[in-house]
Structures are given as structure tokens and as C-alpha cells.
């Protein structure tokens, strides 16, 4: 009855929230956990329960039993302890009602102490004895239904229903006479069974409360390094379908410890994908806004500039090497060293297309001459580099290949008169193709190590890019 009332209240809440609270928040990272992934998580949960539930002490049981010939005997079972729980079969299903976990064929081993006393008119003293016993619980069945909601950006797990049923138990008594054995078994089987059922149900309730506070304690922001943090606030209630459990998180980068209200990102709804979860545990979908927000945070933090004062062929950074391209530079500053002050002039434009990530990077390159220890800026050339990145996941982690598509150069300002931009472009083209792109590809080939999460990492991962989304389908393994 209470359950029915709760259910109606919940239903009202759902209808209410959907009608009146029009949420305009969108998740930019989606996590879909397939049935295979849920099985994996369920097995972890069961293993954890098997080890953390025991030893589990049950309240002592007292009973007076009438035994033929002997008379009325007072029996006490104490120190009843579940020492071991073993689950052989469990299943998890998602559906309209919630997450349903069914355990069938679990067994448990118990130990206990027994004691009896009785007095009879035949003897002047009361008789008592004590010993120990082991109990084996067979065919225990456990079922629970969980609901998962999002509350203030955290996942909230609650137990809607649970039940535990003990099918059969057998008792082995050490010490005692056969009359005692029969009396004990007959009188206590039912009581021990229901004590086990009650204790297990209570333990499951506590276990879910613990799991819920663990979920609640998960941070809403994960620091990536000392500049950026990833917003992992959950958005909307998890969606339960027959084939998966779908979660959405905000997923945008922000400057660390700074509240950035980023309204400029609007993802398109209804991402479809070529990456199927059927044979993988999870699918992670990243919207291109995640990459945009990351690049914008790094840009704002002033992390996108480089001073180039060392190159493999150092003579390139001397005015002498440039005398045919920029003769006036050589004339003014003969044989002086040059440094290049390169900075990204506005956040790179990122678009995720079919199997590739397009990026346009606007750069300003200031040519500095080092003359008698003074740094003299002489000219600034603006460039716009358009490249495609082909991402892959290999044993090295996340890797990729960059292909240069196109680039433009223009003169921003100059203190040394006009420059021959077509010559400059030719030099830059050679430099990009022969030096920069191979260097970047070498770095990319080394790969970015994919972080492990609480001791689990991705395995057999595949990556796909389509219209505005990157999809990663993967299994999980413990590290
Ligand atoms: C039995 O339980 C009592 C009370 O819980 C405890 O004091 C005692 O140490 C236990 N004995 C054994 C052998 O576990
Ligand atoms: C496990 O339990 C489910 C349902 O309770 C049942 O359909 C399945 O056959 C069982 N599997 C094994 C291996 O016993
Ligand atoms: C549990 O009981 C069964 C049957 O008596 C026995 O085979 C098994 O070894 C016991 N397990 C433990 C951990 O005591
Ligand atoms: C993180 O995301 C949540 C939900 O979209 C939002 O309310 C919150 O302001 C975000 N936090 C930061 C620091 O951007
Ligand atoms: C490089 O350029 C930035 C601004 O674009 C300037 O703040 C910085 O001082 C320059 N550094 C050198 C070594 O020229």
C-alpha cells in the first residue's frame, strides 16, 4: 500500500516536473551503458556485496519446545553469524519500473551456538548442554528494484522494492543427542530462515543507502590540470530503456575554480551513430561543444602561444637565411638572430564531420629580431591554418593523424616595409609540411593516455565521428 502511494506521488512528480519545469539545459557528454555493461557493473556489485555483507550477525533466537518423553525444553540459538554468501546467478534488467536485479540460487553458510536447559520431576537438578552448529542456506532468492534520478546534478539511487526468500536450509549440529537434533531442526528452521531473510533485506537497504551517498559524493567538477576542469554535473534523469541505461552530463570545460556560465553552446538533438553498443559495454558520446569549450578555456588562459627560438636547423632563425626573402631585414639587422612569437589569435574553430575533425586555427606570428640583447618586433604575419584530424584509439591510447588542408597568410603590420607575401607563403608552406605537421603527428602517434576511472579502463575501444559528435564504444576492464 505504501509502495502504491509512493508510486502515485512519484508519478505526479514526474508529470509535474515535465510540464512546468522546462529545462533548457543540455548534456554535451552522454554515457550509454548497454546490457553487457550493466551485467559487468552488476557482477561488480554482487562481488562487493558477497564480501562486504559478511560476517553478518543475526539476533539470537529463543524458544521453548515440547519434546516427547523429555518434556518442555528451553532452547537458545546465539551468535548466529552469516559467514559466507555465494551468488551463482544474477541478472539485471532495465525497464519502465527501474533497474531490476534478480539473484537466484544464492547460498549462505552460517555458524551458531546452541544451548538447551530443562528440568524434569525425575531429577532434582536442571539439565543443560551447549554446542555449536553450522547451517547451510540453499536456493536463496533476492530481488530488488532500484530507481535512479538526478537531484541537483547528482545521481540519486533509491530502493523501490526488495525481497529475500530462503528456499531450504540444512543444519549440522555438533554435540547433543539425536532427540535434540530433531527438536532443534523442526523448531528452528523457519525462524532461522526468516532471520536470514530479514537480515539480508536490511543489509541490502543499507547497501543501497551507502551506494547512494557514494554517488552523491561524486564531485561535480573534475580537474583536468591546473587550467581546466570538466563539468560532470548530471543533467536530466537517467533514461532507462530495454537495451541501455543512458546518462547525460554537462561535459563542458571551464577554467578551474571559476564559474563560467556558458550559454553559447547549443547542441543538436537526436544524435545517431554508426557505433553500436550491442557488443560493447558503454558508449560515450561527446558533442563538439566539449572540444570548443576546452579550446576556449585554454585560449582564455593564454596557453595558446609559443616562442620558437630553437629549430633543428638553427640557421633558419637568422636574418642571413632570410636575406633573399626579406632583403630589407638583413640590411637593417645583418646576421642577427630571430625568434618567432606565435600566438593563436582567437579560439580555434572546431567542427566534427564524417570520420574527421576539422579545425581552423588563426595564428599571429611576430618576427622578433635580437639585436644587442634587445628584442625588436619587426613584423607580424597573420595565418589561418585549416587541418583535419583523424582520431583513432590504439594501444597507445587516443591517437590521431593531422592532415594540412589549406592555409592563408597576410601581413598584419611591418616596421620594415612591404614583404613579398607569396615568398613568405612558400617558405611557411615548406616549414609546415616538412617540420610542423610531421612533428605534431609524431606527438599524436605517441598518443594521449586515456585515464582510468577508479581502477577501470577502456578496452577494445572504437572511435567514430559523425555530424557534430564523437562516439567511443568500449568495454571496461579492471587495471
Ligand atoms: C557471542 O556473542 C556475544 C554477544 O554478542 C559476544 O560477546 C561473544 O564474544 C560471542 N562469542 C563468540 C564465540 O563469538
Ligand atoms: C539465471 O537466472 C535466470 C532468471 O532467474 C534464468 O533465466 C537463467 O536460466 C539462470 N541461469 C543459470 C545459468 O542458471
Ligand atoms: C559452506 O557449506 C558447504 C556445505 O556444507 C561446504 O561445502 C562449503 O565448504 C562451506 N563453505 C564455507 C566457506 O565454509
Ligand atoms: C555545470 O553544469 C551545470 C549543469 O549544466 C550548471 O548548472 C553549472 O553552472 C555548471 N558549472 C560550471 C562551473 O560551469
Ligand atoms: C610575444 O607576444 C605577446 C603578445 O602577442 C607579448 O605579450 C610577449 O611579450 C611577446 N614575447 C616576446 C618574447 O616577444
pLDDT digits (tens, 9 = 90+) for 66-107: 777 777 888 889 999 999 999 999 999 998 889 999 999 899
**What are residue 13's phi and psi, to 5 degrees?**
-60, -40
Could you tell me which of 463, 409, 433 has the C-alpha nearest to residue 283?
463
Q: Do 202 and 239 belong to one domain?
A: no
**Grid cell digits, residue 312:** 633543428
Whether 355 is in a domain gets the answer: yes
| 351, β-bridge pairs | 358
Whether 8 is in a domain gets the answer: no
Give the pLDDT confidence score for residue 269 in this predicted structure: 37
Asked whether residue 388 carries a pLDDT value surpassing 50, the answer given is yes
Q: Do 204 and 233 belong to one domain?
A: no
Residues 17-28, mean pLDDT to the nearest whole number:
50
Instruction: Indicate which ligand has the atom closest to the C-alpha of 86.
Output: 3
Whether 24 is in a domain gets the answer: no
Q: Do 192 and 242 belong to one domain?
A: no
Alpha-carbon distance 420 to 322, whole Å?
A: 12
- Pick the last residue of a domain from 216, 234, 260: 216
In this structure, the strands spanning 397-414 and 456-466 are: unpaired
- Residue whose CA lies nearest to ligand 4 atom number 9: 261
- Provide the domain limits for residue 101: 55-216
Whether 5 is in a domain gets the answer: no
- Residue whose CA lies nearest to ligand 5 atom number 14: 341
What angle (nearest 5°) sits at the alpha carbon of residue 194, between those of residues 189 and 196?
95
> Of ligand 3's atoms, which has the minimum distance to the CA of residue 172?
5
Whether 179 is in a domain gets the answer: yes
Instruction: Indicate which ligand has the atom closest to the C-alpha of 221.
Output: 4
The contacts of residue 227 (CB under 8 Å, 6+ apart) are 255, 256, 297, 298, 301, 303
From ligand 3's centre to the CA of 173, what distance in Å? 14
From ligand 2's centre to the CA of 89, what distance in Å? 6
Q: Do 209 and 233 belong to one domain?
A: no
Pocket test for ligand 2, best of 91, 105, 141, 167 (most atoms within 8 A of CB): 91
Instruction: Read off the pLDDT of residues 44-61 as tens digits, 9 standing for 90 and up.
Output: 889 999 999 989 999 999
Q: Do 292 and 395 belong to one domain?
A: yes
Residues 213-217, mean pLDDT to the nearest whole number:
89
How would you class 409 by CB atoms within 10 Å of its CB: exposed for 0-12, middle for 13-18, buried for 19 or more?
buried
The contacts of residue 148 (CB under 8 Å, 6+ apart) are 98, 99, 155, 156, 157, 237, 238, 240, 245
Q: Look up the CATH number of the domain holding residue 356.
A: 3.15.20.10
Residues 257-265, mean pLDDT to the nearest whole number:
48
Alpha-carbon distance 25 to 249, whole Å?
A: 10
When divided into structural domains, the chain yields a total of: 2
Q: Look up the CATH number of the domain holding residue 205.
A: 3.15.10.10
From ligand 4's centre to the CA of 176, what distance in Å? 68
Give the pLDDT confidence score for residue 453 in this predicted structure: 67
Give the pLDDT confidence score for residue 124 in this predicted structure: 66
From ligand 3's centre to the CA of 54, what distance in Å? 14
130: Cβ below 6 Å to ligand 1? no
> Of ligand 3's atoms, which has the minimum distance to the CA of residue 136?
2
Whether 14 is in a domain gets the answer: no
Q: Do 112 and 207 belong to one domain?
A: yes
Q: Do 271 and 134 belong to one domain?
A: no
- Residue whose CA lies nearest to ligand 1 atom number 7: 79
Instruction: Indicate which ligand has the atom closest to the C-alpha of 89.
Output: 2
Percent of the chain with pLDDT over 90: 37
83: Cβ below 6 Å to ligand 1? no
Q: Do 304 and 401 belong to one domain?
A: yes
Residues 1-14, mean pLDDT to the nearest whole number:
34
- Pick the last residue of a domain from 175, 195, 216: 216
Whether 453 is in a domain gets the answer: yes
pTM metric for this prediction: 0.77
Q: Do 209 and 271 belong to one domain?
A: no
Whether 29 is in a domain gets the answer: no
Residues with CB under 6 A from ligand 3: 84, 109, 136
Q: Which of 8-12, 380-384, 424-428 has the lowest mean pLDDT?
A: 8-12
For the chain, the average pLDDT equals 83
Give the pLDDT confidence score for residue 7 in this predicted structure: 33
Instruction: Read off the pLDDT of residues 269-302 as tens digits, 9 standing for 90 and up.
Output: 334 445 565 678 888 888 999 888 888 888 888 8
Pocket test for ligand 1, best of 79, 112, 174 (most atoms within 8 A of CB): 79
Amino acid at each position: 500500500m505504501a509502495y502504491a502511494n509512493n508510486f502515485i506521488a512519484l508519478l505526479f512528480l514526474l508529470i509535474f516536473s515535465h510540464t512546468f519545469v522546462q529545462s533548457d539545459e543540455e548534456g554535451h557528454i552522454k554515457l550509454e551503458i548497454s546490457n553487457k555493461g550493466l551485467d559487468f557493473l552488476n557482477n561488480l556489485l554482487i562481488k562487493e556485496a558477497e564480501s562486504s555483507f559478511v560476517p553478518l550477525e543475526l539476533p539470537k533466537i529463543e524458544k521453548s519446545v515440547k519434546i516427547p518423553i523429555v518434556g518442555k525444553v528451553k532452547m537458545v540459538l546465539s551468535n548466529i553469524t552469516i559467514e559466507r554468501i555465494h551468488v551463482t546467478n544474477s541478472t539485471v534488467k532495465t525497464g519502465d519500473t527501474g533497474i531490476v536485479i534478480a539473484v537466484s540460487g544464492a547460498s549462505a553458510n552460517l555458524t551458531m551456538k546452541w544451548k538447551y536447559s530443562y528440568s524434569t520431576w525425575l531429577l532434582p537438578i536442571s539439565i543443560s548442554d551447549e554446542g555449536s552448529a553450522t547451517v547451510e542456506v540453499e536456493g536463496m532468492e533476492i530481488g530488488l528494484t532500484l530507481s535512479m534520478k538526478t537531484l541537483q546534478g547528482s545521481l540519486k539511487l533509491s530502493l523501490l522494492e526488495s525481497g529475500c526468500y530462503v528456499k531450504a536450509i540444512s543444519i549440522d549440529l555438533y554435540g547433543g543427542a539425536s532427540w535434540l537434533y530433531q527438536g532443534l531442526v523442526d523448531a528452528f528452521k523457519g525462524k532461522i530462515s526468516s532471520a536470514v531473510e530479514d537480515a539480508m533485506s536490511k543489509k541490502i537497504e543499507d547497501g543501497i543507502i551507502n551506494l547512494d551517498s557514494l554517488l552523491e559524493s561524486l564531485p561535480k567538477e573534475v580537474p583536468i590540470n591546473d587550467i581546466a576542469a570538466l563539468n560532470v554535473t548530471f543533467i536530466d534523469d537517467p533514461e532507462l530503456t530495454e537495451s541501455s541505461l543512458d546518462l547525460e552530463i554537462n561535459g563542458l570545460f571551464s577554467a578551474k575554480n571559476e564559474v563560467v556560465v556558458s550559454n553559447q553552446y547549443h547542441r543538436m538533438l537526436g544524435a545517431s551513430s554508426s557505433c553500436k553498443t550491442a557488443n560493447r559495454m558503454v558508449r560515450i558520446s561527446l558533442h563538439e561543444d566539449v572540444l570548443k569549450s576546452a579550446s576556449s578555456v585554454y585560449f582564455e588562459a593564454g596557453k595558446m602561444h609559443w616562442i620558437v627560438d630553437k629549430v633543428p636547423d638553427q640557421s633558419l632563425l637568422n636574418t642571413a637565411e632570410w636575406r633573399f626573402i626579406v632583403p630589407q631585414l638583413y640590411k637593417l639587422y645583418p646576421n642577427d638572430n630571430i625568434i618567432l612569437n606565435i600566438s593563436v589569435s582567437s579560439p580555434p574553430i572546431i567542427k566534427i564531420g564524417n570520420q574527421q575533425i576539422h579545425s581552423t586555427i588563426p595564428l599571429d606570428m611576430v618576427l622578433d629580431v635580437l639585436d644587442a640583447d634587445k628584442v625588436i618586433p619587426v613584423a607580424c604575419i597573420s595565418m589561418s591554418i585549416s587541418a583535419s584530424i583523424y582520431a583513432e584509439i590504439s594501444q597507445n591510447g587516443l591517437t590521431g593523424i593531422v592532415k594540412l588542408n589549406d592555409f592563408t597568410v597576410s601581413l598584419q603590420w611591418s616596421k620594415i616595409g612591404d614583404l613579398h607575401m607569396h615568398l613568405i607563403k612558400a617558405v611557411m608552406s615548406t616549414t609546415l609540411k616538412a617540420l610542423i605537421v610531421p612533428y605534431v603527428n609524431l606527438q599524436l602517434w605517441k598518443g594521449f593516455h586515456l585515464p582510468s576511472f577508479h581502477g577501470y579502463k577502456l578496452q577494445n575501444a572504437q572511435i567514430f565521428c559523425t555530424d557534430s559528435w564523437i562516439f567511443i564504444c568500449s568495454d571496461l576492464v579492471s587495471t
